[in-house]
Amino acid sequence: MSKKISVVLPVYFNAQSLPELLTRLNNVKNDLLKIRLDLEVIAVVDGSEDNSGDILDNLVNNYDFLSSYQLTKNFGEASASKFGLRKVTGDAFCVLAADLQDPPELILDMAKAWLNGNSYVICERIKRDDPYSSRLLARLYYKFVTKFIIPTYPKKGFDLFLMDSNYLAVVIKSSKSSSIPLILSWIGIKPVKINYIRQARKHGKSTWSLLKKVNLLFDVLFSFSIKPIRIVSLIGASTSLGGFIYGLVVILERMSGQAGPQGTASLIALVSFTSGLILLSLGIISEYIWRIWNEVNNRPESIQRFKP
């Protein structure tokens, strides 16, 4: 009995790219059959308001390896991907973006590496054919990740991967706000790397806004790192020490008969600084508390839409 590769396809405003994507995935399937591997593709429409769902419903009739699900609203790429991962039946799994910027043909290369005994394979970007602003933000993001969270994370990042299904449960059970690539890196398995150039987007327009990128940064930071609290604690301790030294100097000056500082300007500045520091500390702690509450409130991570 041949083994199977499962591909999860989160879909959000990808109506224009889906026909070409499925044609190329069909070619990938034929190539996989040559090395005795089967393919299943699990498409998850993440509340997309275009006709992506209708297109997939029609394509399901043309491709026996394709299944399609729709969510009731936009839950986010991570939640949509994890919904699809719960449907996986293959021996290895991956998540593929539906915009064709990551060539689906890379699945074949990863599958060959997997057959050679590698349980975790990633496609690491060595170049991005994206606008300068996107490349700059991506460079800053991945530098931040390697500096504060996972030092061994690929410097130019990755999205496309293939992992043995023995680790599937770990990914599915990860927290709601977790980034799947970060979870895979956190597991600790050293990946085999395949280098590639990220393609320019030919179909549609990216909905990956600056606000979504900032939200991702916050989720990654507060889900994987304790350093923000450590930094604030260090600043707080330094401020307290500085205040103690300043107060000691004032007392000594008074005892020696010197006039010491006059007026309220210095007092106002000190109170304003410490108040701001307290609010910043409370804000950072609240970010962690929010994520704890989001995990324990039993709210579903995603909800499937059923047709009447």
Whether residue 62 sits in one domain with residue 172: yes
CATH of the domain at 150: 3.90.550.10
pLDDT tens profile 214-237: 777 777 777 777 777 777 777 777
Whether residue 61 sits in one domain with residue 103: yes
Amino acid at 217: L
Please give the average per-residue pLDDT across 176-198, as a whole number.
86
Whether residue 274 sits in one domain with residue 197: no
Percentages (nearest 5) of helix, strand, coil residues in the chain? 50, 15, 35
Whether residue 138 sits in one domain with residue 62: yes
In a domain, 221, yes or no: no
Whether residue 237 sits in one domain with residue 96: no
In a domain, 55, yes or no: yes
Whether residue 138 sits in one domain with residue 262: no
* Per-residue pLDDT at 259: 58
Two tokens at 102?
Answer: 């990551």
* Per-residue pLDDT at 145: 83
N-terminal to C-terminal alpha carbon distance within the chain: 37
Please give the average per-residue pLDDT across 152-163, as a whole number.
87
Whether residue 100 sits in one domain with residue 246: no
Whether residue 188 sits in one domain with residue 283: no
Give me the chain's average pLDDT, please.
84
pLDDT > 90? residue 37: yes
Residue of 223, 232, 256 whose CA lies nearest to 248: 256
Contact of 2 with 37, CB cutoff 8 Å: yes
Collapse the DSSP code of 107 into the 3-class scheme (helix H, G, I; strand E, B; otherwise coil) and give the result: helix
Whether residue 11 sits in one domain with residue 70: yes
pLDDT > 60? residue 265: no
In a domain, 288, yes or no: yes
Contact of 151 with 185, CB cutoff 8 Å: no
pLDDT > 60? residue 130: yes
Collapse the DSSP code of 164 into the 3-class scheme (helix H, G, I; strand E, B; otherwise coil) and give the result: strand
Q: Which domain holds residue 173?
A: 3-205
* Per-residue pLDDT at 169: 92
Q: How large a percentage of the chain has pLDDT more than 90?
A: 42
* Per-residue pLDDT at 22: 96
Whether residue 160 sits in one domain with residue 252: no
Give Cα 77 distance to the centre of its chain. Answer: 8
Residue of 149, 92, 161, 165 whose CA lies nearest to 124: 161
Q: How confident is the model at residue 268 (pLDDT cuts 50, 70, 90)?
A: low
Place of tokens 């293959």: 90
Q: What is the dihedral of CA 136, 210, 101, 83, to 10 degrees?
A: 130
Please give the average per-residue pLDDT across 20-38, as a whole number.
96
* Per-residue pLDDT at 103: 93
Please give the average per-residue pLDDT across 256-271, as a whole number.
63
pLDDT > 80? residue 55: yes
* Per-residue pLDDT at 66: 97
Q: How confident is the model at residue 149 (pLDDT cuts 50, 70, 90)?
A: confident
Our count of domains for the chain comes to 2
Whether residue 200 sits in one domain with residue 70: yes
